Amino acid sequence: MGETTNSSPRRITLMHQKLVYILALVFALGLQETMAQATQYRGKRAPAFEVGHSFNNQGWYILPGITHTLGFAHTERDRIGPDSSVVTTHNPAGQMGAFLQLGRFHVWENRFFQLFDYGLDVRWLRGVHNRTRDYRFGDEEVNWMAMEGNGRFSDLWLGATTNLSHVSRIGNGVFITNAIGANLNYALVRGTRAEGAYEGTQTFEPPVFAAQLHYRLGVGFPLGNGWYIMPTIETPILGIFAWNGGHPSMRYFDTYYQPLLIGINIMKLDRMKMKPCPTEGGDGKKRKGEDGGLWDKKMRKKYGW
């Protein structure tokens, strides 16, 4: 059996670590800035969500959008003799899909987090993959192409999602949200196909269950009457399940794909139920001359009503 020398997994791991560090830094800087603004303008600016007299501090949201998978290209070298090797090159490419989330959200006053949401999640992830293998003798001379292949995947995932957000109003009703969340998904429909140079690949598709921590950035705008609209961008930052090594990306054809979700969050606060004014006395009896209207009989008679 030939000797395998493969530095690609380590290189991919380092790339994912850098991605996580960058996203964590963005979240930390964004949280620090928004908290500083919130402290500076505390008591001067109204909260992002207008709750109280007419609306409750909770409501419904629907979040439709598109998905895209960012692929990480890499090369593997397998020794098959003292002076020969097989070089396998992976060239992935993401494709556009779609997603839809529907659920509830709650808002409250807190120094760190002011928005909590949870709901159902349906996402369609798609991508393509090209794999070439060539034999090399000596240093880097390519003697002949062994085989070339192409693959694609198209999976429909069903699951649940939740987010905890720091919200900061930045002026004219506009607010920014920095959220850390989690999602648990099940591969309801799978469509993975490959042809050509794919014998020997270890992982054609990820496990049927996927659990991840993700980061979401949003910019919200009030529309009035309890309605809000918020463009969002979301991506996983950590895989929770042990068998994926903590990678936030999904593994297809021995290659990692990083999901990216871009959507429009449409939010509606619940309207408060107005309580009618009491028309009974302390003894539970209706007051004389009162019929529950704004004006009693004496007042209507006095002013000609």
Least confident of 24-38, 71-85, 137-151, 247-261: 24-38
293 or 223, which is more confident? 223
Res 54 pLDDT > 70: yes
pLDDT of residue 286: 54
Backbone angles phi, psi at 172, to 5 degrees: 55, 35
pLDDT level of residue 264 (50, 70, 90 thresholds):
very high
173 close to 222: Cβ distance less than 8 angstroms: yes
Fill in the DSSP letter of residue 287.
Answer: P
Res 215 pLDDT > 50: yes
Least confident of 43-47, 110-114, 207-211: 43-47
d(CA 161, CA 210): 12
Res 176 pLDDT > 90: yes
Which residues, other chains included, contact 180 with Cβ-Cβ below 8 Å and sequence gap of 6+?
A: 27, 163, 164, 213, 214, 215
